[in-house]
Amino acid sequence: MPRPVVTQIDLLRHGACEGGEIFRGSTDVLLSEEGWQQMRAKVAGVGFSGWSTIVSSPLKRCHHFSAELAEQTDLPMILEPELREMHFGDWEGLPHAEAQRLDPQAWQQFWQSPDQASPPNGEAMPDFCRRVTGAIDGLVEQYQGESLLVVAHGAVNRVVICHWLGMPMGAMTRLSVPYAGLTRFKIYHQAGQAPWYQLDSHF
């Protein structure tokens, strides 16, 4: 039997942002200086890992860092709009504590059962999951056998982790994905079989 083709995907969350701990979602804010430092340190720590392409959310907190890294490494960079963060509706721009105070029931439902509850007037969770999983599976197919750095968001990366590990989407709020957190997957492709996903590291 021939050896499987291996694709490596590194999921990197953006660093800390201007404005403190708020629901950013689709709000296009910038990285703070701390956030820049976090992301630069993380990619330096993994030694660029043989990436062939950088794929980024179009939002500035991902895009600006990805553009800098692409220039430094002479790697191609593409923007994938389907990897933008979830739109949090009425919670957009609010500190977490304020969103909880305004609608404690919706807050509790969202954090306890995110697969069954969506932010008030925000993007429906099933729609969000479909666009993210569709985009990331498309990248695996397109870049089969290569190594990608995907720069995205907390909720986006949680959806991908649940999807590839066969976990229920309701588990996503139980996953720790810190600022500049990096999760590495290896995907094994064997002719006539579905891809097999292995969580290689998460830090």
Query: Catalytic residue positions?
Result: 14, 85
Which DSSP string corresponds to the chain?
Answer: -PPPEEEEEEEEE---BTTSSB--TT--PPBPHHHHHHHHHHHHHTTTTT-SEEEE-SSHHHHHHHHHHHHHHT--EEE-GGGSPPP-GGGTT-BHHHHHHH-HHHHHHHHH-TTT---TTS--HHHHHHHHHHHHHHHHHHTTTSEEEEEE-HHHHHHHHHHHHT--GGGGGGS---TT-EEEEEEEE-TTS--EEEEEEE-
Residue 94 in contact with residue 22, Cβ under 8 Å?
Answer: yes
Q: Does 101 carry a binding-site annotation? A: no
Binding-site residue positions: 61
Binding-site residue positions for substrate: 61
